[in-house]
Structure 1
């Protein structure tokens, strides 16, 4: 089974990479560390199984996405899709019957990982760790199942030990309770054989005791009946006495026929109490009203007629107080605003003596813009005049400076200087000539040349000075022209300045400002005037608001005053009249307080009147209810109270109620006694009607001439007549109770003796016990048999498994590692000729036989490279045994091999590549060179940061050398 194509779309460093047209032999993929070789090995080892979440895989960019095309042994194609952590999707092409029911590779993931993906970690793990699972994978040949036999055998032995211990002793573990039951039953069966002699004698004694007990029970029953009768009489003795007393009291009551009816005494008492309460409330309220107002009835009527207005005005007092409060606040604000605004005006300009002067100033936006423009023009003219004056001054200075630069030139002066200097040098030369001719001639010559040079320089300077004087005069003429123009411009600006000063004077007159105020000051005053006008406007609004508030409160007070004037005669005698027209802003607070005080007094009187009226209304309702109540009672009295005085009417109502209550209470007392008598009779009947009491009454030989209840009461009455007092009844009861206790004690003794005899008879019943013992023995043996069978089965099965394992290991020990020995011999060039298993095949180690027939007892004595060669040989041997042939991955597994052993290992891989596809992942150029020299059909790919590039053996070798 070979991988033909690998499409890695998203896996760690690989993003959209492909390996196409892969060969069937060795495929070499070379690259530097962290280029993606290990990630590629993880992809190939997980192709048929899918990616698991708990494995240490490089993270995807989005989701794992790998596609693979496989060629199976018959040339058929299989497509595999791996998405995320889900199971791989496998599509079989041109395969009708599914031969891969156990999985595509027919081995589990762990076996494929340990055998076919060989990295340095796997080789070291095999040599360093004793793992029976890994050892079974390496040895193969059924060892995967053989390693499970010790565990299964141990479990079977443990189960057998739970049942019967190590040796199966029946007196231990689960066997013990059944064995003990069998022993007890055998002993009981032996004892029961000799107990058949006294059984008949005990039976006869038991029969006589039973007859005696029956006679005693009849005697006890009669005694109990008499006690029950006396207990009933004793228990109800007090009820019977109460019955006699009530019958005597009922005979003392006498009633007319009209008096016998239903009385509602509670209702009458409640009406009486309510009436008295309402009457007291009315009298108190009426007295309070008259003391506060007047005894005149018209006073209350007038108050109630104006109830709505008084209530409205009273409810509005808080609003009036709030209006007064707001008015005072506005007044205070108005006064403060007036004073503050006047102070601002005076502070701004003493000439502004009133608000009207400020209001007359036109400060609209157009006028303000014109003022700003004029001030800007004025400021511009003034600045230009300053600039012109400065220019004129500068021109004068420049002209004076240029005039000083003109210098006069005199040629005669320069000629005289030349003559004198020449004459001096010639005289000096002649004098020195006589002393030293050469020196004298030199002085004369030098003096002549120096004089000529001096004359030339002076001539040049004089010519330059003339030209400079001409230029200076021309500059002076230009300055003079500009100076004249500037003077003309200055005159025009002065005329404009005079005109702008006149405009500024007009603004000063409008704003009533002093002539000393500058243009900037005019602008500031203009702004101040505009600001003050705005504040004056707000001031006027505040004044208007004050007037409106004052008018509103005056109108409200006028309406209240009209109402108050109606009550001048009786309710506010000591208060003076208030004229609303005389109220002004100064006395509004006091006037308002006086009027509101009168409103509160009126409202207080109104509340008292309403309270009195309400009390009277409640009293009238109660009177009407009383009349209706008495009328329903059909009393033979006159309840018409219309012509009585109010005081007599109240007394009559109370007397009528008291009379009704007195008759009702007497009749109620009579009915209560009658009901008590009925209850006592019912209780006595209840006591008599019991089952036992009925049996007692049957003994009383009476004919039932009346109803059953009356007959029972008469019988009970006759029974009580037999006893003159309760003490006599108690004495008979105590005597009978003592006799009854003696009978009970005798009966208990007889019953105990009977039970003892019965138990002895039961103990002597040997036939039944023998049968029971036999049954217990059979039952214990039947329960013991399955446990014994289980114990035998578990131990036998464990023994069979252990023998099978021993025989298997003995038969296969010499044949296990023959192929691995040949491969190791080839890799080590015959240095190690054979591999032998350990005595314990499950131990993760091997013996090795050297060329000189010496035996290395453990791989721990080998070098690291030799140990890795040993386990590599075992893996290659095991790979050859597994069918179908699966892809093999080698990830730098030979780094600890020397060059000779690496070359031999490559030869072994070339042989393996004839049947298996081998992926060699490496970063070593030497390994690529060896493969290139020994395997012509090998394919080569360069891997760099997750990118594949097809290459040749030589190119890949050179590339790896540069790393």
Structure 2
């Protein structure tokens, strides 16, 4: 038995805990201390008989509830444990009903606790719950231990009782034995009877008569028995007479029949042949219908050559037919694409004509113009620069005009002020410094203009000029004899305007030169690109942009045109395959140069040929069905008679005649088989009746040597005409038996009288006392003798039983445990058991060193010894139950722990093993040993599936 699923709904710390899809070999459950591992083991200990009341079990929150799905002897069952009730087990599917006893078999609850659920503190000589070593022996050796332990005592008790009765040899003449008293009593009674039974003449006479009567009575008994035997024989013969007559008739019918031929005839094939005949007629009809359909509906010539051509090119036609719809759709798409491309070309030509009237609708002019992203940027940059320069020139002219107007206004005001203030005296400012400032402004502005744009250069030059003039003006000292501040200010403004006008004029000249230079550059670029030379500069960028767009459209059009041509060529290649194939059976015109013109005709023809192929397949299928039917019929006919063989060339009428001949023979054979079966049935009926012991006793006097009983009865039956004659004979025998029985009764009465007379002639009182004494001694002697014999026999049997059980159970357990202990330790050769089985005084054996008792072993080695004993007992148990090991290898070093897991791996071949641990190294060793294991973590009563040993080891290390 192994668990598939386990649900602990209410038990201690567990609430709705689940273990699903459990492996049937090794399940490693890891968790920290107090995670619930011990509670899990206690839960499994309740499986045999349910939860007991009292004790140290963890309590339930509401009511104990354990639910499991398990597999037992290949069938799945559901196990349910509620409260303290006995567990219930119900089949899942069609399994038979069982209970816990059927699963656990001879394993008791205490054995399951101490053998199959092993915790660390229980790997001791006397674990908790075991009162003494004798109690442990009961657990380890199973339910038979009680008998084994009591056998020596029982043997001794049989010996003592036998010795009390008859000492060692059972001699009744020994005065100290119990047999002596009844023996002497019998001897005394015999002597007394001899004295009381002295015969007299009359006693002898009566005795002789009594013997004669008894002899006559015996003869009558023999005669009555003989008559009764004859009566019984006649009754049986009457019962079997009619079946014997039928048997004779059937044997006569079968006398000249070859029974071997009956057995050899394949009557079991008659139904199959009927079925094959029906299939043959159906197949013949279907073939004719299929051929007629092909002849009437085929599109092209329905000759055999065309039929063969269709089947010969079946694969090619199927392959082409699969693409037929695709080709038809492709043809439509190609036509639509051609129309779309033509429309696209006309649109592009119209755009070319509208762009430049002298170009017309030809792609040539667009193709001759070089188009690229660089050229587009160059055209845009030059055009933009010219536009910017013209704008700056326009703005500069407006500024000059404004400055000149302002200057005229200021000069007019200045003339008026000169008339009003004649006494004003002004010191002329030296001209050298303003000239230097103006020159510097022009140089800086020109440099910035080349580095950036002319506009930026002009602005920078004006700023430098203004700052320089301001600085120069601020160094002039004017002395007047009148109020000359407005005058000087106005005159300074005029001077400033003169400087500005001069700078602007110079800048205007530069702008004209730059515009002329850029205009020349644009002209060269237009010529270089192939654009119309008469195109205004402002229109060049937009014109070139439209040319680029048209060039892109033309490229896209040509790419689509190329793709269309390729698609058309591919389509032509595909249609050419179809045309090449169909050229064998049809005459049509199709040119690869213009594949779209007659493509629909070729595809329609392919569709027609595909339809003809289906008709040809129907014909071929019908031919195959008919061929298979003929082969099936031939198999049946040749199994009956090889001369009846048929093939495809055989006429239908001949085939049907062969079938009819087989059926006629089958009918005749069936009738003979029924006759044989009837004969065998009757023969079996007669033989079965004669197997009765009383029937054989009735006919035994008539049997000669080993003559079959049925022949004996058949010979007797020949003496009678019918059952009425037998009935008359039976009545006659009954009458004679009744007469003999009446005579026997009379003789019996006479014997009683003679026996009474014989007793009266003897010494009745003495003889009675002697007989009573003999009887008393005989009864007691027989009782004691029987008791002596029984005790001696029982003593011998019990001794042999004890030796055999000790060898079969205890020694076998020790031998298996030795192998496991040796494999785990690899230091000891094994173990042996000193003394009686009750002591379980094990010793660990070493090859070249002293043996060690359990008390001399280290704790870990002692635990390994008793773990080996438990595992050996588990392996010897007939039932396969889950095994739970709760940190049973904690005290072992890594090497011993690794070998323990190797032993556990061997145990998983027959038992499901749950290994509970809180130590990461245990999980690590299962992985390093390449054990096939399933891993779960447990924490606070919750199970979590872990995919690998590493994840469980990491979980335990973290905890």
Provide the TM-score with structure 2 as the length reference: 0.40
User: Higher Cα Rg: structure 1 or 2?
Assistant: 1
Q: State TM-score, norm by structure 1.
A: 0.40
